Amino acid sequence: MRFINLHFLKEIGIACEFDFLLEFSLVTDHKVQIMPDSFIHSSWNKKDDSAEIPLRPQALSEFVGQDTIVKRLEVSILAAKQRNEPLGHCLFHGPPGLGKTTLGTILSKAMQTDLVLTSGPSIEKAGDLAGILTNLKEGDILFIDEIHRLNRAIEEYLYAAMEDFFLDLMIDSGPAARSIQVKLNRFTLVGATTRVGLLSSPMRSRFTLNFRLNYYCSTFLEKIIMRTGQILGIFLTKKACLSIAKRARGTPRIANNLLKWVRDFAQIKGFSRIDELLANEALNMLEIDELGLDEMDKKILSTLIDYYQGGPVGISTIAAALSEEIHTLEEVYEPYLITQGFLKRTPRGREATALAYQHLKIPFKT
Ligand code: ADP
């Protein structure tokens, strides 16, 4: 068996489609390798252009919080290693910035396999998926971010790949149409989503391990900020740390970003040590209050209260009033406002709670 690579064909001037290559492989006994660079970033060739990379915990022991998830993963990893089998398919869901990608990278390190990162919207055709899957080695981890945005037809190809490790592909159309089966190496699919409700139930049921990541309490966020501070060489007091943690909306990514902002502020003001006073001065400039509500959160609540008597009002009306995307409101802002008790989702629309009135210092009318 010989291998042929799409990049090689392109280099020598042959532009070809996946179907053509499959036919070619059947006739000539070449194994087809297709992996367009645009939608795949392997852990080996990924450019180190993200400021998040050095901050990502590399092992479960470094991962702060989410104790139940960590314990369950430890068991699954150990069991899979003892049986010398790939890890079961895992689904991580929860709001952005809570550590889903980080857990994916930790799993690949723990299982000592390669990690292939891609995302639902970037897999447009069955050929894209086939290219990714046929290149996975035994035990590799395929991480699909925003898996709820996978096209339904592609999703159906994944079912057989996840369950029986083969791909059922249709070649040609009309009377010449025929289906071929491509055998795959056993791999682990790690799916991440902020909208688990949008995942079809056949897809959801194919994940052996299903984890919901929750917002972090300030104690864990403090630990994360301390850890980031150490990595970035920032000297900050415990109280400064707490002050940042309280404004981080239970989210490690926000905690890290706020810390970086406070560091910049301290540097410009000429301080090498960050205390609570300095941290608060920096954070006040961002207009984030002590409960972590930023300008947009407060706008959402005040729009509801000032223009719609506190609701209920439909999400599309709020989105139009604020010139914001519906899905940004639903995925980024609402979950935190709901968990903090400022907003209610009802069948008739969104409602501001008594706590929202109290927080914005507006008299509550029943
Ligand atoms: P998601 O994929 O859920 O959007 P990421 O995994 O990209 O979130 O995490 C965002 C950032 O937060 C990363 O820089 C990561 O280092 C940090 N982070 C997330 N979870 C933790 C954690 N439990 N402990 C330490 N850092 C974390």
The CB of 256 under 6 Å from ligand 1? The reply is: yes
Question: Token pair of 331, please?
Answer: 């995925």
Q: How far is the CA of 187 from the centre of ligand 1 (A)?
A: 24
pLDDT over 90 at 44, yes or no: no
Shortest-distance Cα residue to atom 12 of ligand 1 = 253
Active site (annotated) includes residue 194: yes
Question: What pLDDT shows up at residue 52?
Answer: 66
- Give Cα separations from 23 to 19, 128, 136, 170, 175 (angstroms): 6, 16, 21, 11, 16
Question: What pLDDT shows up at residue 152?
Answer: 87
pLDDT over 80 at 241, yes or no: yes
pTM over cut 0.85: no
pLDDT tens per residue across span 149-193: 998 888 888 998 999 998 887 777 777 788 888 899 999 999 999
Active site (annotated) includes residue 101: yes
Catalytic residue among 102, 194, 251, 353: 194
Question: Token pair of 295, please?
Answer: 């300008």
Select from 253, 260, 331 the residue to mutate for testing ligand 1; criterion: most ligand atoms less than 8 Å from CB.
253
Q: Which of 34-48, 66-80, 217-231 has the lowest mean pLDDT?
A: 34-48
Residue 73: name the closest of 46, 102, 31, 32 by CA.
Answer: 102
Q: How far is the CA of 88 from the centre of ligand 1 (A)?
A: 22
pLDDT tens per residue across span 73-123: 999 999 999 999 999 999 999 999 999 999 999 999 999 999 999 999 999
| Strand, helix or coil for residue 31 | strand
Q: What is the DSSP annotation of 136-171?
A: PPTT-EEEEETGGGS-HHHHHHHHHHHHHSEEEEEE
Active site (annotated) includes residue 145: yes
Task: Please compute the mean of the pLDDT values over residues 221-244 and round it to a whole number.
Answer: 94
Question: What pLDDT shows up at residue 128?
Answer: 87
β-pairing verdict for 90-93 and 188-193? parallel
Q: How far is the CA of 316 from the centre of ligand 1 (A)?
A: 30
Active site (annotated) includes residue 67: no
Exposure string for 215-244, b = 16+ CB within 10 A, e = fewer: bbebebbbbbbbbbbeeeebebeeebbbbb
Share of the chain above pLDDT 90, in %: 65
Q: How far is the CA of 221 from the centre of ligand 1 (A)?
A: 11
The CB of 93 under 6 Å from ligand 1? The reply is: no
Question: What pLDDT shows up at residue 180?
Answer: 81
Amino acid at 182: V
Question: Token pair of 349, please?
Answer: 């629309």
Residue 115 φ/ψ, nearest 5 degrees: -115, 130
pLDDT over 60 at 31, yes or no: no
Shortest-distance Cα residue to atom 1 of ligand 1 = 97
Q: How far is the CA of 57 from the centre of ligand 1 (A)?
A: 8
Question: For residue 20, what pLDDT band results from cuts at 50, 70 and 90?
Answer: very low
* Bond from prior residue into 96 cis (ω within 30 degrees of 0): no
